[in-house]
């Protein structure tokens, strides 16, 4: 059985700005590169970039492999949208 639920109206988020699909999922798109770092392993260097994603806060930015991000989203690297 379903029960009636009275929720807090201040917690409801508008879905008009987020392009939702029919199965209630959406695609995250990177907006900006915030930072870069290179980690030195024994035999190689691994370059990473801190990526700000659409519909996310700066605190939720993630570190991604620079090479893969450059392949999938080259416009972030061409337009000067990086931090350096």
Domains of the chain: 33-84 (2.40.50)
Token representation of residue 69: 């991000």
What are the residues whose beta carbons fall under 8 Å from the beta carbon of 45, sequence distance 6 or more?
38, 39
Out of 14-18, 19-23, 30-34, 54-58, pick the least confident.
14-18
- pTM for the complete prediction? 0.62
What are the residues whose beta carbons fall under 8 Å from the beta carbon of 70, sequence distance 6 or more?
76, 77
* pLDDT tens-place string over residues 28-55: 899 999 999 999 999 999 999 999 998 8
């Amino acid at each position: 059985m379903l029960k009636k639920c009275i929720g807090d109206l201040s917690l409801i988020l508008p879905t008009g700005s987020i392009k939702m699909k029919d199965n209630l999922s959406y695609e995250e798109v990177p907006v900006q590169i915030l930072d870069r770092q290179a980690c030195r392993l024994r035999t190689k260097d691994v370059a990473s970039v801190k990526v700000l994603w659409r519909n996310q806060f700066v605190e939720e930015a993630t570190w991604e492999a620079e090479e893969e991000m450059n392949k999938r989203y080259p416009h972030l690297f061409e337009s000067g949208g990086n931090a350096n």
